[in-house]
Structure 1
Amino acid sequence: MTYVKNSFLHLFRFLRSTMSYFRDVLLLHGFMLFILLPFLTSLIKFILRRGQIDYLSYDSIGIILRDHPGVLLALIAVLLAILIGVFFEFTFLLISVFFIKKKEPISLRQLLRGTLIQLKKIRPSSILFFLVYFLLVLPFGGLNFNSDLLAKVKIPAFILDYIFANRVAVIASVVIAYLVLVYFSIRLIFALPQMILRDRRFGQAVKESWQATKGWNFLRLLGQFLLISAAVMLLASLSYGVVLLLLSLVETNLPEYALPGAVVAMTIMQFVFLANIVLSTVGIFYITIASMDDSGLLTGLPEWFTKSAAGEKEAWSFGKVSLFVVVAILFGIGVGTYNTNYLSNYSLKEPLTISHRGVSNGNGVQNSLDALQKTARLHPSYVEMDVQETKDQQFVVMHDFNLKALTGVDKRPNQLNLAELEDLQVTENGKSAPLVSFDDYLAEAEAADQPLLIEIKATPQDSPDMVERFVEKYKDTILAHQSILQTLDFDVATKLKELVPEFYVGYIMPFNIVGPPISKVDFFTIEYTTLNRNFIDAAHDDGKDVFVWTVNDEDTMTRMMFYGVDGIVTDNVDLLQQTIKTDLKDPTYADKLFYFVTGIG
């Protein structure tokens, strides 16, 4: 009972004390979000353009390593700049919370000065530990401190789908690994703060953290982390819910004030979002500092801190007051204009409907003729399917790079001839169907008058002229039938477009990091969890369409339509078509604000 009471006391003290530091933390986040991040993103794009590299992805790393040492060095420099930026952000916030705990006011100037002093003390061991601490332990251990510079580091849903689609042993291994990372996250939680606040060396800091977090202290820290995370999330959710409810009442009862009310509501929600960033970011630091204090690991005030400088209240001159008023007015006009445009101009867009692997609502085995026939009766815009090269340089319809999961044969498709592959049975969801050649699948699609979205799944074992032979054999049929193509391999996508400019070609991006790459393709297909409005706007400005995969629930379908995607890949064509019929209308302002909250970033 005492533990629960102390946990809530820590929570309330944290919430109360943090209010005085909103300014400093918001200024830091503003700098990171609106200055440093755009600068680094533009710098990466500039480096790639100067090196005449169209994209940055896993299949371009080898080219950069081999042919572009200058680009490699420049990208490493940017990576180091990001790392230093994250360290600066961490140190700034840590020192801020340290002074919250010490109940000592500190000026922004002194905070910056203290942070820079700590940056000068960085040792090689600090950098190595920092990499492990932030890029491995905390993000995947669930204790990330929400750095703006690391905000794009996400685990895409397709990876989770793959993990949970496999055996129990794989799921168990992932769960165990996750729990181990959480354990090490907490056991090492004091190490880096010790290195920063007390100038401890790496080995000593790790030893002291390990000693201070054993037994009951470990459970106490874990409970407090969970409590603060839940409290901050609950506050934000309640705030958003109340604002949306009030706006709905205004729209229903006072429709003439709906737009002004929505602008005010959106402004409040933006403030709540910023407040949530502050609270969730500083929360982990407050628990850490408070626990260090309880364990006797905190020192006194640092030598560089001067009480008089921090405690003096500067008089507001006429010039400062005038500057503050001008900035506030300009900020208010900017926010009001942006919010009004957002609420007035956005409307839902009808997307192309695309059946994932030729299946809808489990009506057959993926990439089979039977499923194609049934799905074609639903008349989707396209049926997405997968093509791989065989050992005898033919083409088979198959998604997986290994046949074992679907056929029981532990071989790659390119290790067997087409005739051998056609003798195999594919089993899925209690159904069975023969493996089929691309020629037969294409003929069936033609007979059903069903255009295809053909994904070419390239492998290192493909013949050197695979793309050329594919184009020579199928070009006329693909164009006549108005089918389109996509691939995960950037070189294959580029070659398809160069060989046949009339082809409508897409490049598949598993996740969004720095926006759409420079490319000659016609569209991008991106996994939906990291997609945002900024990516879509940037792609559209460059004349590219955006398809999204794999969307299987109504809420996400509606949200993707609101973002303006051009096509939705789904496992349930019926649901997507019904959602388009019922939800393709001008959304209410409350709907728009809901999509705004769920799609920020």
Structure 2
Amino acid sequence: MIEQLKQSMYQIHKNLKLYLESVFFLRMLRVLIALPLLSYLFLQILNVTGLSSITENTIFEVLRHPVALVVLLVLGLTSIFFIYYEQAYYFMLAHLQDTQEPYRLKTIIQKLNNKARYIINIQSVVFLIYFILILPIASIGMSPGLASNLYIPHFITDELLKFNGGWLIYFGVFALIIYLSLRLIFVVPYFVVEKEATILQAVKKSWQHTRKKSITNILYLGIIVGLYALAIGTLTGVLLIPLMIIERILPVAAPVVAGITLTFLQIVLFFSFGLLQGVFANVLYRLAYNRTGAPSAIKRDTKSFFFRPWSKILYPILAIVFISTVVGNTVSLTKILYQPTTQIIAHRGYMAEGVENTIGSLRAAKTAKADFVEMDIQQTKDQQFVVIHDANLGRLANRPERIQDLTLAQLQEIQVSAGGHSDFIPSFEDYLAVAKEIDMKLVVELKLHGDESDDMEEKFVEILQKADVTKEYIVQSLDETTVARVKELDPEIKTGYLVALNIGNLPKTSADMVVIEEFSLNQRLMEQARDQGKGIMVWTVNQENLVRRAFGLNVDGIITNEPSKAFAIRETFDQERTLAQRVQELLE
């Protein structure tokens, strides 16, 4: 492995300009062609279905619409093609360099086109599953750009890990995916390099070649990623040193230096990831074909690899882009960021200090200085309201009963436990009384199990009105009809439409706020919400970088398991942060 790595680094070093141009070419292909085309196809799906976005509630409308289904198929195949070209390019380049075959960009594209015919059949399903589920882990840092943002939303893993044995399922599946990744790690080089190899044949060959080598492969790949991270971390630190010095001795020049530093770091990260892809492709190619000899002399076509007549135009354009980026970064780093007005909402109370949705976790959230507490209520068998999230008592009380099958009195006698804490299930009215006592506002989520009374919303609104909290509390639900009914009964109540997954524009809703999972949050949705006069709340935001991102966008509220940490971040969000610290945060 060490020999293959040395040979690969030699190839990259000898052809550094070629690889830098390749990185630039592939990124431009993605930005100028792939993403616009995929966006266009997605917008056509929204147009033919009349939807503003695709959520968990509207996905079946897409699947039931013949035209939308066809466009969705085209979008999927287009995605496969772009992912294939972006990933296969470096393997073909490594192969041509190794075999000393003369090549140009056109040569590589033609060879990749010849293999693309194997994708236009039923095997494309195998290819799609492979890239989405396997490659982002198998290639560790070499994942294709179009798939690099694919991950399981945090709320799914958070909920899974709360169940008994959930962690075992999670890590078991994760271990299985890693194992499959390592066994199938040579699929792409075998498929790309061998002229008549089908995807299934490449899968079979990789499986055979990696037998009893999984542990060795993961160690080797781990070494490469570790060295890469060390190199990038060191280079980042070195580039930040001049800025830290300038901030102390010549503060007036620091903003411009900060803008230049950030721009250089962005360029470094832009190209370094592509170079890492090149290193991985070379190493995997050599391991797949047991190439241990000295690197071959490179034979390239006498004509330029890339079309040079554009160079006279390209370089001035790049210079203008660089200067514009420096100016933009300088403005971004030096603009005054006021402390965000984002409200901190403790998810089911403060679960680190009490059982979720109990009086104990409610009081703990007050101590943690949360602005609101998000809590869940359901209707009981006797049409009362109880504070609990799950539809049954299995997770918190180790009992099989469903909430809808028990009366409020029965539920209040049941002890629930989690995280070393124990408490009792409270009624909504008791919970509300304590919230008023400690001056804690609530975000009340109405959870539906299907057996609610016909006047459920009326009963609920009456409780809020009786407690005189209709102007202070927020009411949310996954069911848009329910929040619309609550708003109709009392227009003073601020309502939120809860969406677990949103792809596209801001969902259409009559609610005052859209409550989305952090996976779906972006600047475009924030702008659309402001234009429509609606608020945005985000759940469940726990990681520090995600909390800072939400504060930076100044969303209306973040629902978090860590209200104490979020409060500390908000309090110091723009206090005493050096320009060097701001540069580091923008790079995260």
- Provide the TM-score with structure 2 as the length reference: 0.86
How many correspondences in the alignment? 581
- Gap change, CA 1:463 and 1:89, over 3 Å in 2: farther
1:118 equivalent to 2:108? Answer no
Write the distance in 1 (CA, Å) between the matches of 2:322 and 2:452. Answer: 58
Counterpart in 1 of 2:413? 423
Counterpart in 1 of 2:269? 273
Opposite residue 99 of structure 1, the aligned amino acid is: L
Matches within 5 A, 1:77-92: 77-92=74-89
User: Of the candidates 471, 474, 484, which is equivalent to residue 474 of structure 2?
Assistant: 484
Counterpart in 2 of 1:30? 28
Residue deviations 1:211-255, cap 9 Å, x none? 32223x544433332222222222222222333343222212221
Q: CA deviation at 1:82?
A: 1.6
- Gap change, CA 1:422 and 1:74, over 3 Å in 2: same
Secondary structure of residue in 2 paired with 1:358: coil
- Gap change, CA 1:96 and 1:479, over 3 Å in 2: farther
Opposite residue 29 of structure 1, the aligned amino acid is: R
Counterpart in 1 of 2:255? 259
- Gap change, CA 1:60 and 1:357, over 3 Å in 2: same
Matches within 5 A, 1:437-448: 437-448=427-438
- Gap change, CA 1:265 and 1:228, over 3 Å in 2: same
Opposite residue 67 of structure 2, the aligned amino acid is: G
Residue deviations 1:505-533, cap 9 Å, x none? 33444566546444444334444467555
Residue deviations 1:41-76, cap 9 Å, x none? 35424532442223312232233344x333333223
Q: CA deviation at 1:21?
A: 1.7
User: Of the candidates 386, 389, 404, which is equivalent to residue 376 of structure 2?
Assistant: 386
Counterpart in 2 of 1:188? 184
Q: Aligned-pair RMSD on alpha carbons?
A: 3.5
Is contact 2:350-2:365 (8 Å) kept?
yes
Q: CA deviation at 1:139?
A: 3.4
Write the distance in 2 (CA, Å) between the matches of 1:133 and 1:124. Answer: 15
- Gap change, CA 1:202 and 1:91, over 3 Å in 2: closer
- Gap change, CA 1:174 and 1:358, over 3 Å in 2: closer
Write the distance in 2 (CA, Å) between the matches of 1:428 and 1:180. Answer: 28
User: Of the candidates 351, 356, 360, which is equivalent to residue 347 of structure 2?
Assistant: 356
Residue deviations 1:453-482, cap 9 Å, x none? 112223355557645654466467576341
Moved more, 48-57 or 469-478: 469-478
Write the distance in 2 (CA, Å) between the matches of 1:7 and 1:357. Answer: 53
Counterpart in 2 of 1:303? none
What percent identity do the matched residue pairs reach? 28
Write the distance in 1 (CA, Å) between the matches of 2:144 and 2:465. Answer: 48
Residue deviations 1:546-592, cap 9 Å, x none? 33444557666445423433323334544443443344437332222
- Gap change, CA 1:263 and 1:281, over 3 Å in 2: same
- Gap change, CA 1:220 and 1:432, over 3 Å in 2: closer
Write the distance in 2 (CA, Å) between the matches of 1:105 and 1:339. Answer: 42
Counterpart in 2 of 1:408? 398
Is contact 1:59-1:489 (8 Å) kept?
no
Is contact 1:451-1:481 (8 Å) kept?
no
1:71 equivalent to 2:62? Answer no
Is contact 1:7-1:224 (8 Å) kept?
no
Write the distance in 2 (CA, Å) between the matches of 1:129 and 1:314. Answer: 33
- Gap change, CA 1:280 and 1:159, over 3 Å in 2: farther
Counterpart in 2 of 1:54? 52
Secondary structure of residue in 1 paired with 2:57: helix
- Gap change, CA 1:159 and 1:320, over 3 Å in 2: closer
- Gap change, CA 1:161 and 1:251, over 3 Å in 2: same
Secondary structure of residue in 2 paired with 1:59: coil
- Gap change, CA 1:231 and 1:346, over 3 Å in 2: farther
Counterpart in 2 of 1:165? 162
Write the distance in 2 (CA, Å) between the matches of 1:420 and 1:314. Answer: 76
Is contact 2:342-2:557 (8 Å) kept?
yes
Opposite residue 270 of structure 1, the aligned amino acid is: Q
User: Of the candidates 439, 443, 453, which is equivalent to residue 453 of structure 1?
Assistant: 443
Moved more, 225-234 or 366-375: 366-375
Residue deviations 1:401-458, cap 9 Å, x none? 3212212322221232222212212223443322122222223333444321112223
User: Of the candidates 547, 556, 572, which is equivalent to residue 566 of structure 1?
Assistant: 556
Moved more, 275-284 or 535-544: 535-544
Opposite residue 243 of structure 1, the aligned amino acid is: L
- Gap change, CA 1:40 and 1:381, over 3 Å in 2: same
Is contact 1:384-1:455 (8 Å) kept?
yes
Secondary structure of residue in 1 paired with 2:103: coil
Q: CA deviation at 1:398?
A: 0.5
Is contact 1:156-1:510 (8 Å) kept?
no
Write the distance in 2 (CA, Å) between the matches of 1:473 and 1:554. Answer: 37
- Gap change, CA 1:246 and 1:477, over 3 Å in 2: farther
Opposite residue 54 of structure 1, the aligned amino acid is: S
Counterpart in 1 of 2:314? 324
- Gap change, CA 1:6 and 1:439, over 3 Å in 2: same
Counterpart in 1 of 2:240? 244
User: Of the candidates 276, 279, 302, which is equivalent to residue 311 of structure 1?
Assistant: 302
Write the distance in 1 (CA, Å) between the matches of 2:94 and 2:392. Answer: 52
- Gap change, CA 1:188 and 1:558, over 3 Å in 2: closer
Write the distance in 2 (CA, Å) between the matches of 1:441 and 1:478. Answer: 15
- Gap change, CA 1:424 and 1:330, over 3 Å in 2: same
- Gap change, CA 1:171 and 1:325, over 3 Å in 2: closer
Write the distance in 1 (CA, Å) between the matches of 2:141 and 2:468. Answer: 47
Q: CA deviation at 1:205?
A: 3.1
Is contact 1:138-1:144 (8 Å) kept?
no
Opposite residue 249 of structure 2, the aligned amino acid is: N
Q: CA deviation at 1:193?
A: 3.0
Using CA pairs under 8 Å that are at least 6 residues apart, name the structure with larger relative contact order, 1 or 2: 2
Write the distance in 2 (CA, Å) between the matches of 1:374 and 1:194. Answer: 57
Is contact 2:340-2:570 (8 Å) kept?
no
User: Of the candidates 231, 238, 241, which is equivalent to residue 235 of structure 1?
Assistant: 231
Moved more, 466-475 or 582-591: 466-475
User: Of the candidates 85, 93, 113, which is equivalent to residue 96 of structure 1?
Assistant: 93
Secondary structure of residue in 2 paired with 1:365: coil
Counterpart in 2 of 1:432? 422
Opposite residue 406 of structure 2, the aligned amino acid is: L
- Provide the TM-score with structure 1 as the length reference: 0.84
Write the distance in 2 (CA, Å) between the matches of 1:566 and 1:416. Answer: 37
Write the distance in 2 (CA, Å) between the matches of 1:315 and 1:424. Answer: 72
- Gap change, CA 1:419 and 1:493, over 3 Å in 2: same
Opposite residue 349 of structure 1, the aligned amino acid is: P
Opposite residue 91 of structure 2, the aligned amino acid is: L
Q: CA deviation at 1:104?
A: 5.5
Write the distance in 1 (CA, Å) between the matches of 2:358 and 2:259. Answer: 50
Write the distance in 1 (CA, Å) between the matches of 2:499 and 2:241. Answer: 37
- Gap change, CA 1:112 and 1:361, over 3 Å in 2: same
Q: CA deviation at 1:270?
A: 0.8
Write the distance in 1 (CA, Å) between the matches of 2:15 and 2:464. Answer: 64
- Gap change, CA 1:334 and 1:214, over 3 Å in 2: same
Write the distance in 2 (CA, Å) between the matches of 1:93 and 1:124. Answer: 24
1:224 equivalent to 2:220? Answer yes
Secondary structure of residue in 2 paired with 1:56: strand
